[in-house]
Amino acid sequence: MEADRMLSDQATALRRADLAETYLRRIVAGGADNPEQLYTRRLIENLNSQGKFKDAKQFLATIKAAVDKDVVLLLLSSDAERGTGDEKRAKELLDLAKANFGGDARVWIKSAQANMSRPEYAQDVIADLNRAIQIDPRNAQRSEEHTSE
């Protein structure tokens, strides 16, 4: 399984989500994940990035007890719910992340990203991005880099 871990890392670095998925699934199915469930998390993120939201939700269900206690898993869950069309549940998960991890800039960035395509939420997007910048001023520079591209 160590070879699968290395190959999944390499495939991810090469932006070969399809190939990384194969190795990540083997690691998780083989019970070779680490105690922090790093490879399960990577697999969920990988599946979300490929639009395989139903598959991501299945893996999230296997670690449900950890989801509410972990900012990354909450955000991945929100993405998966949004991807399957459950906007209400996606928003509930983002709100939970804000309540439990409001000091983490990633929460506010994800909230802004979730609403960027909706003109009626423009003020909320700006407020979320401002909050992310307050938490971590380096986000201001990142924002400038993205807007200048």
Predicted confidence (pLDDT) per residue in 70-83, tens digit: 999 999 999 999 99
Residue 146 has pLDDT above 80, yes or no: no
Question: For the stretch 36-58, what's the b/e string if a residue is b when 16 or more beta carbons lie within 10 angstroms of its beta carbon?
Answer: ebebbbbbbbbbbeeebbebbbe
- pLDDT mean over 110-129: 93
> For the chain, what is the mean pLDDT?
91
Q: What is the pLDDT of residues 10-48, one digit of tens each?
A: 999 999 999 999 999 999 999 999 988 999 999 999 999
How does residue 67 score in pLDDT terms, banded at 50, 70 and 90? confident
Of 18 and 68, the structure prediction assigns the larger pLDDT to 18
Quote the DSSP letter at residue 33.
Answer: -
How does residue 87 score in pLDDT terms, banded at 50, 70 and 90? very high
Residue 147 has pLDDT above 90, yes or no: no
Q: State residue 1's pLDDT score.
A: 83
- Distant-in-sequence, close-in-space partners of 90: CB < 8 Å, separation ≥ 6: 78, 79, 81, 82, 114
Residue 121 has pLDDT above 50, yes or no: yes
Q: State residue 143's pLDDT score.
A: 52
Percent of the chain with pLDDT over 70: 93
For residue 76, CA distances in Å to 11, 30, 130 come to 20, 23, 22
